[in-house]
Structure 1
Amino acid sequence: MGKSRVLQASITGDLKKDFEAFQAQTGMNDSDAARDLLTLALRIKLNTSEDDRPSNRELLEEIYRRIRHVSTNVNITHTEVFSGANFNNNQAAASERRKAQLGTTDKKVDEFLEGK
């Protein structure tokens, strides 16, 4: 094992409050907390952009979008198939409504992911 490197950095304001909150949650001392956070930050920052695999965020966004689509479709299906006659009579209208709702759902998901 190589010689360890000692780092020093002063922290103030919100960063200090956040660091202290992290320590309170984990019960770590200054060194362990800084080491843990630095490891996480470097893992994120050094992630190569040449990697073609989707990032965790991209995967979670897609999962979130699909869950919203499924929820939308379940709500529409429940409404449209309350009786067999309604299902048969409203099948075409339900298809158009579903397409419109999915577009609305996509818009809402995009707004959410943009922080609006």
Structure 2
Amino acid sequence: MTDPLRVLVVDDERDTLDLIDLTLRTAGYEIHLANSGAESLEMIRSNSFDIILLDIMMPDMSGFDVLRTLKEEMDNHPPVVFLTAKANPDDRQEGMDLGADDFLAKPVTRGSLLDTIKKHVG
């Protein structure tokens, strides 16, 4: 039996974290939750994840800042998918320019979320 894929979900909204947690756990993923950019970086530095779902608008540091830090600190980091309500074309372009692997606009459907994860980690 293979180990479940490890997903880090980063969002400052508790309801969003709970909903994604439930959705992905029932699909068989191992879920880890962070409610801030700083907390996510601590978790990434001390754990290994298969994919990161990252909100953009957070109070302590933006998802863009988290991704910039990952790029500076790690040669090989897991795929990063922005999952955010901030879905205008400029934000999408900025995220992709920074090296995000994908971009999902909230609210996201269960199917889109699962398909995107499978696309990036199999």
> Which category describes the TM-score, using the shorter chain as reference length?
under 0.3
Q: TM-score if structure 2 supplies the norm length? A: 0.20
Query: As a proportion of its length, which structure holds more helix?
Result: 1
Q: Give the number of the structure whose alpha-carbon radius of gyration is greater.
A: 1
- Taking structure 1 as the reference length, the TM-score comes to 0.21
Q: Which has the larger strand fraction?
A: 2
